[in-house]
Amino acid sequence: MTQMGHGQRAEDANLGLGALYHGLARALRPARAVVIGSWRGFVPIVLAKALSENLEGGEVVFIDPSMVDDFWRDASRVKSWFDRFEVVNIRHYCLTTQEFAQTQDYGNLGPVGLLYVDGMHTFEQARIDFECFRSKLTPEAVVLFHDSARVRSSSIYGTDRRYEHRVKDYMELLRLDPGLEVLSLPVADGVTLVRQRDQ
């Protein structure tokens, strides 16, 4: 879990950017966080732990169609994996964001106080991920986009399916939106925080 650009360090039990994710979930106390994409569950686990530490509780809706390998494919394996970390408040959907948006569960989804976008890092997919949940965000919600520090080539989906991370470019587009506040932290692979400006 330390390999995916969140700047963790096992030697001093340093969560890296995970400390920020954990702190935000504790401070905002959202009833619901949505996480799109994860290699082995670092972000959903950190957020789920933080929400369970809040008196209000809260759940993590985790969307990942298991496109890198079969890690998220089998529901009982996914459950055992999260059990190992003693988190029971993650609901996983083995779907893309687009597929999830077609489900009844999406239609019935309550307000989202924290959205973490870490799926396919094309400009277009980052846009879809954000737009899909924009109308469900609470006024005080924070949206985090991972891998926003630089444009780079990735072969995570196979050497024959190499593609460019373009989240950084999408962040430049969001900066032009007067209704949004956008702050990029160039820590590890970078995370950008976005929130709706107060009316």
How far is Cα 178 from Cα 184, in angstroms, rounded to an integer?
16
Nearer to ligand SAM, 2 or 54 (CB): 2
Helices and strands: H and E segment counts in the chain = 7, 9
User: Dihedral of the CA atoms 99, 103, 105, 106 (nearest 10)?
Assistant: 60
Nearer to ligand SAM, 125 or 184 (CB): 125
CB of 55 to ligand SAM, least distance (A): 28
Contacts of 7 (CB under 8 A, 6+ apart): 16, 17, 187, 188
Nearer to ligand SAM, 97 or 192 (CB): 97
CB of 189 to ligand SAM, least distance (A): 7
CB of 96 to ligand SAM, least distance (A): 4
Nearer to ligand SAM, 6 or 32 (CB): 6
Pairing of strands 191-196, 180-185: antiparallel
CB of 90 to ligand SAM, least distance (A): 14
How far is Cα 18 from Cα 52, in angstroms, rounded to an integer?
16
Nearer to ligand SAM, 32 or 146 (CB): 146
Shortest-Cβ-distance residue relative to ligand SAM: 37
Residue 139 phi/psi, 5-degree rounding, is: -60, -30
Contacts with ligand SAM by CB under 6 A lie at 4-6, 36-39, 42-43, 63-68, 96-97, 118-120, 125, 146-147, 156
Nearer to ligand SAM, 32 or 145 (CB): 145
How far is Cα 176 from Cα 151, in angstroms, rounded to an integer?
19
CB of 30 to ligand SAM, least distance (A): 20
CB of 165 to ligand SAM, least distance (A): 10
Taking the alpha carbons at both ends of the chain, their separation in whole angstroms is 39
